[in-house]
Amino acid sequence: MNRENWNTRAERRSARLARAGEALPGQLDGKRVATAAAAALLSAVLEPGDRVCLEGNNQKQADFLARTLMQLDPQRVHGLHMVQSVLALPEHLDLFEAGIAKRLDFSFSGPQGTRLAQLVSSGRIEIGAIHTYLELFARYFVDLTPQVALVAAQAADADGNLYTGPNTEDTPAIVEATAFSGGIVIAQVNEMMEPGTLPRIDIPGGWVDFVVLAPKPNVIEPLFTRDPAQISEIQVLMAMMAIKGIYAEYGVQRLNHGIGFDTAAIELLLPTYGESLGLKGKICRHWALNPHPALIPAIEAGWVESIHSFGSELGMEDYIRARPDVFFTGRDGSLRSNRAFCQAAGHYACDLFIGSTLQIDLDGNSSTATQGRIAGFGGAPNMGADARGRRHASPAWLKAGREARDGRAGAAGTPRGQKLVVQMVETFREHMQPAFVETLDAWTLQKQAGMDLPPIMIYGEDVTHILTEEGIANLLLCRTDEEREQAIRGVAGYTAVGLARDRAMVEKLRERGVIRRPQDLGIDPRDATRNLLAARSMRELVRASGGLYQPPGRFRHW
């Protein structure tokens, strides 16, 4: 036997707990720690170099614990290795500037992307890797297991039982990995309740070591709310093409929508344009999706059978409570979200993912990475990849697979289904930046940040359709790199990439149905008006919900 001691994790845990007990005389009530003692608790529990998961979700943030970490003495606590899915708050990066944290493994940094890139280039942060969410959770159980988890919940009792309410999100994955590997779990909560009175238990108390009442409720972002007033008629046109040219064509029943106005337009067209095509019950029945307010009219019109969610959405609480046939809810009536299971659902149980991007190259590779920012891609790589382990069939998946393999020999010709992965972009973005480029910024960023690979969000090999206002390019039907390139150029409009098309080849691709224009789909662009939207404003969304949807203040314009 080479090892003398197989209990180092348990002993380290005991030592952490003992230090916490000493540091908090009289301030422990069961597992409850006084708010004022939070910094003393973290200082006692943490050790230099610890692997720490500070719950930064896509929406819910353990913001009080983040601020508390910032109060620690870097002489005592330093060099932490942060393993957290989202860097959303300034404090998440302050920790690195202060030297308290050193290394980072994450999924998405959103608004902190520019500052993150600066800290990397100045050597204040070592980035381990950027992950898609489920990939990061998977590593929690393999080689990135947290020694300390700092999570957020709605309420707790003195036994440590947690009620997460609608935003369960990453919490179960984080806590399970930490609690069953000798780690320490600390939760900030908005409310402390008496044992037996929690509306439901989302995390058993035995998995949690300390609970602290936060001085104010945790930060939470309404990331998935899009005001219908801002949807353009070009977006309506593109949404019509998506519904008629892709959803109806393949019979897509189970799907995930990315974030943004493009997909919000699709959601708002289902009960109008979709209804006029007779598609109700034939498409879009099951969703892996946050509770998008833009989906309310389709739900009310009876289009939607089920929605499982990664997280919740602010303002949707009462609406969800009133529609328990559609959403996954607890006995308390509020949503039970779960990012790990919803990502698994998006990967393995959906036939289509559709989302937007900033840049697409001539191979069909797409990325939202831009120079000077390190942002990550959240769930897109997981959902925007062909799930090659999938074995159950559906008409949509089989048709996509047939199109991809028809006429091919050898291993590439073996029959197999394929996931539909659609990139939906206008040819020019804001400030007239072209969405189609010869070379992705990702290549420059790779060099700048010393990455092993360029940060590509969705690979050309996995994209099946590119949809712009000019038409749909079906990459499944392309048989050579040249065909793919011309199919992409053929929908790239007046961008330099689009203008450089081989017109004869593009016309041939159109004859073969590889490229389809609105008129090829029987869509008259003049019909693409905002009148087709089932709700044209936040107010109409509220009305569609029967007054149950309560948008956050910033979305209330009436």
Residue span binding a copy of itself (CB under 8 A) among the ranges 23-31, 298-306, 511-519, 528-536: 298-306
Q: Is residue 47 within the footprint of a copy of itself (CB under 8 A)?
A: no
In the complex with a copy of itself, the residue whose CB is nearer, 61 or 107, is: 107
Antiparallel, parallel or unpaired: β 420-424 and 366-367: unpaired
Is the CB of 258 or the CB of 455 nearer to a copy of itself?
455
What lies within 8 Å, CB to CB, of 354 at 6+ separation is 242, 246, 255, 256, 257, 258, 263, 266, 420, 421, 422, 423, 424
Q: Within a 10 A sphere around the Cβ of 406, how many other Cβ atoms?
A: 12
Binding to a copy of itself (CB under 8 A): which residues in 248-267? 253-254
Q: Which is nearer to a copy of itself, 128 or 552 (by Cβ)?
A: 128
Verify binding: residue 128, a copy of itself, rule CB under 8 A: yes
Phi, psi at 542, each rounded to 5°: -60, -45
Burial of 260 (0-12, 13-18, 19+ CB in 10 A): middle
Interface with a copy of itself includes 445 (CB under 8 A)? no
Q: Verify binding: residue 281, a copy of itself, rule CB under 8 A.
A: no
Binding mask 145-184 for a copy of itself (x = CB under 8 A): x---------------x-----------x--xx-xxxx--
Nearer to a copy of itself, 330 or 490 (CB): 330
CB 273 within 8 A of CB 240: yes
Please give the angle made by the CA atoms of 311, 312 and 314, to the nearest 5 degrees: 140
- Of 223, 238, 163, 225, nearest to 193 by C-alpha is 163
**Given the complex with a copy of itself, which of 215 and 546 has the nearer CB atom?**
546
Q: Which of 393, 512, 519, 547 binds a copy of itself (CB under 8 A)?
A: 393
Give the nearest distance from C-beta 435 to a copy of itself in angstroms. 18
According to DSSP, the residues that pair with 434 across neighbouring strands are: 428
Number of chain positions touching a copy of itself (CB under 8 A): 108
- State the minimum distance, in angstroms, from the CB of residue 557 to a copy of itself: 25
Single residue of 347, 465, 489, 501 touching a copy of itself by CB under 8 A: 347
User: Considering only residues 55, 63, 105, 313, which one is a binding residue for a copy of itself as defined by CB under 8 A?
Assistant: 105
Binding of residue 387 to a copy of itself (CB under 8 A): yes
Token pair of 488 as six digits: 């992409």
Task: State the SS3 of 93-145.
Answer: HHHHHCCCEEEEEECECHHHHHHHHHHHHCCCCEEEEECCHHHHHHHHCCCCC
Q: Is 501 in the site for a copy of itself (CB under 8 A)?
A: no
31, 259, 456, 459, 482 from 364: Cα distances, Å: 53, 20, 10, 7, 12
Which of the ranges 82-90, 232-240, 454-462, 509-517 carries the binding residues for a copy of itself, by CB under 8 A? 454-462
Residue 172 CB, nearest approach to a copy of itself (Å): 8
Question: Smallest distance from the beta carbon of 402 to a copy of itself, in angstroms?
Answer: 10
Give least dist CB 348 to a copy of itself, A.
4
Among 25, 194, 432, 453, binds a copy of itself (CB under 8 A): 453
Span of 54-62, 91-99, 411-419, 526-534 interacting with a copy of itself by CB under 8 A: 411-419
The least CB distance from residue 393 to a copy of itself, in Å, is: 4
Is 510 exposed, middle or buried (CB count within 10 Å of its CB: 0-12, 13-18, 19+)? middle
103 lines the binding site for a copy of itself (CB under 8 A): no
Report CA torsion sign: 365, 370, 371, 377. Answer: negative
Distance in Å, CB of 518 to a copy of itself, minimum: 27
| Residue 62 to residue 169: CA distance in whole angstroms | 12
How far the first Cα of the chain sits from its last, in Å, is 73
Task: List binders of a copy of itself among 196-225 (CB under 8 A).
Answer: 200-202, 204-206
| Residue 244 touches a copy of itself, criterion: CB under 8 A | no
Say if residues 116 and 108 touch (Cβ distance below 8 Å).
Answer: no
Residue 194 found at the interface with a copy of itself (CB under 8 A): no
Contacting residue, 23, 28, 129, 213, with a copy of itself by CB under 8 A: 129
The four Cα atoms 113, 114, 118, 123 give a dihedral, to 10 degrees, of 0
Residue 255's DSSP bridge partners are 287, 352
How many angstroms separate the CA atoms of 419 and 447, rounded?
A: 32
